[in-house]
Structure 1
């Protein structure tokens, strides 16, 4: 008689790349389909691009920056892009609060989803939205104003824009994860956007800032975003790389902190 035996073995974990795709699509839809978040992200960019630029352009005239005489529209462009990046980054954090308050987060974790894929999808979707809104700002600016940038300088400007998007998306996502109260995060976002932008060499050079603001600008990440994009567009990588290195470090540290905090937070759901 044949001996019938049964052996039990541990199930082999199979990769499910579709999980990441589903999470990315879900997160992007959550961010992109919220009209309030999109308006909050796009309005400051359009206001400063169209109103501030056109109203102050004739008053300020040309600005001397590192030995180069620049039209005000050229000098202001990095500030408009930085405003777009910071404003759009704040919307990614707000979306996470909306997700938790609606109970979607609890339902999401009832599915056997790997936290690493959830984290990667959320981060990538947030960065993609921030970058898309910032590229829209750049496209609108390029259509309205004539920028005398070399073709290669446009590439370095886009690199600086990408690094800025990754860095500030990580910073605001980390703040949203570490702050438990939605209203506190709303106040932080509303206050931090103008403070960060105007405590940086956005409308003037660093030398023209008051002493206190000059000190603050040295630890202000927006300063490196504005300076990096401005130097990249005007001079190329040769003068922009110090600011780009700082942005890269901020991006790595901010997204690492956001990732670790987000993983800890999901364990408590």
Structure 2
């Protein structure tokens, strides 16, 4: 007579399926939080510009004319500082993919009966939350140092645009990390992209004051829409920022579509 194996302690199927997302989130947060080198690299540029460049230039340039209103330079510069934090944190989050590949963890993960949709969702949630947490930290430090004249709608608009920027750039860097398979090439691209994106966008200056060639570059620079979206939402409200926010939404959809498909295809080939 053939005996049937029974596992009395095995969790129900529904419970096991619900637990895989929490397990992926726990692993992703541990992976991102324990790598102090990447966290320092992500925080340093933002804090340097916030504490040194912003304070120094605010004493040199007190007021900037922006869309017909006079804006204090510290207020004008805040979206650039937050955008730099978003880009740095998005690059840090995407580097986790290469850690998994180099350490062999990716092979172990996909050898386990883990739903690919939950793995992808866990990566998206963990990556975006890291970007937002780092950016909100910078915003908190800025609030302690500077006085911002935003009303309730301005603060809500700024946080909404910041969230959309985090989604957009986390998706774009995820797509780039999936497309580029060489870790060193991605490291170079990630570090070089920060100053290129920041200084070819209307970060320290308005679009009208930029040379014509840089105005063309700014028009295709994704960071332009993040900076303008946060700046317009904070100063003028949602009605003046919805166009830039819409561009960020499209960027997020494209980035996660390309990155998600590439990630799932890579998993099938392991």
- CA positional deviation for 1:258: 0.7
Structure 1 partner of 2:246: 245
Structure 2 partner of 1:213: 214
Q: Which runs of 5+ in 2 are unaligned?
A: 1-12
1:137-185 CA-to-partner distances (Å, cap 9, x unmatched) read: 1111011100000112101110000000000000101111111100000
Give me the whole-angstrom Cα distance separating, in 1, the residues matched to 2:121 and 2:173. Answer: 16
Mapping for residues 166-181 of structure 1, pairs under 5 Å:
166-181=167-182
Q: TM-score, normalised by structure 2?
A: 0.93
Give me the whole-angstrom Cα distance separating, in 2, the residues matched to 1:72 and 1:152. Answer: 21
- CA positional deviation for 1:25: 1.2
Q: TM-score, normalised by structure 1?
A: 0.94
Give me the whole-angstrom Cα distance separating, in 2, the residues matched to 1:231 and 1:25. Answer: 36
Over aligned residue pairs, what C-alpha RMSD do you find? 1.2
Mapping for residues 1-269 of structure 1, pairs under 5 Å:
14=14, 16-269=17-270
- CA positional deviation for 1:58: 1.3
Alignment: residue pair count: 258
- CA positional deviation for 1:70: 0.8
Give me the whole-angstrom Cα distance separating, in 2, the residues matched to 1:201 and 1:185. Answer: 25
Q: Secondary structure at the match of 1:112?
A: coil
Give me the whole-angstrom Cα distance separating, in 1, the residues matched to 2:23 and 2:139. Answer: 30
Give me the whole-angstrom Cα distance separating, in 1, the residues matched to 2:111 and 2:140. Answer: 42
Give me the whole-angstrom Cα distance separating, in 1, the residues matched to 2:33 and 2:167. Answer: 17
Give me the whole-angstrom Cα distance separating, in 1, the residues matched to 2:212 and 2:25. Answer: 44
- CA positional deviation for 1:33: 1.6
Q: Secondary structure at the match of 2:71?
A: strand
- CA positional deviation for 1:32: 1.5
- CA positional deviation for 1:108: 1.1
Q: Secondary structure at the match of 2:64?
A: strand
